[in-house]
Amino acid sequence: MKYLHTMVRVTDLDASLKFYRDALGLQEVRRSEHEAGRFTLVYLAAPGDEDAQIELTYNWDPEVYTGGRNFGHVAYAVPDIYAACQRLMDAGVTINRPPRDGRMAFVRSPDNISIELLQDGPALPPAEPWISMANTGAW
């Protein structure tokens, strides 16, 4: 058995790519348009880790999706949790659970999918502004 991908439905493909690709730093691995089924699939992966992919499913006909929190979360290890969170904030992403412990943070995609960021290796020493930053919303 081999892990292939995690699928999340998105309501605005451009906004989702801005989040997953441009802010989070994932790279597009492949994309397919399915005119008969009226949907687009975009597969993304962390640089150098194409075996673990996230599939964005965009249905061309508008739908309302609920329960983003019920999905759980997608998790990525990052080499510097503080730099990753700063890059996301600079891209306009809200840090829902700041990395006060130097190890873990949560953000949400435009479709309310929780994304957990974990420090790769030992936790970084606690640092400002993170240790003073309050939680925002839910994750």
Which CATH number belongs to the domain containing residue 47 in this structure? Answer: 3.10.180.10
SS3 at position 82: helix
**pLDDT tens digits, 89-121:** 999 999 999 999 999 999 999 988 889 899 999
Q: Is 69 domain-assigned?
A: no
Asked whether residue 51 falls in the same domain as residue 79, the answer is no
What's the number of domains the chain is made of? 2
88 vs 40: CA distance, rounded Å: 25
Known catalytic residues are 116
Bridge partners, 96 (sequence order): none
Asked whether residue 48 falls in the same domain as residue 83, the answer is no
Q: Is 131 domain-assigned?
A: no
With contact defined as beta carbons under 8 Å apart, do 68 and 76 qualify? Answer: no
Q: Cβ-count burial of 124 within 10 angstroms (0-12 exposed, 13-18 middle, 19+ buried)?
A: middle
For the segment 72-96, the average pLDDT, to the nearest whole number, is: 93
Q: Is 127 domain-assigned?
A: no
**Residue 7 in tokens:** 């699928």
Asked whether residue 84 falls in the same domain as residue 111, the answer is yes
pTM for the model stands at 0.77
Given a cut of 90, whether residue 80 has pLDDT beyond it is yes
Backbone dihedral angles phi then psi of residue 42, each to the nearest 5 degrees? -125, 125
Asked whether residue 42 falls in the same domain as residue 78, the answer is no
Q: Is 137 domain-assigned?
A: no
Given a cut of 60, whether residue 69 has pLDDT beyond it is no
Given a cut of 50, whether residue 2 has pLDDT beyond it is yes
Question: Which range of residues forms the domain containing residue 46?
Answer: 5-59
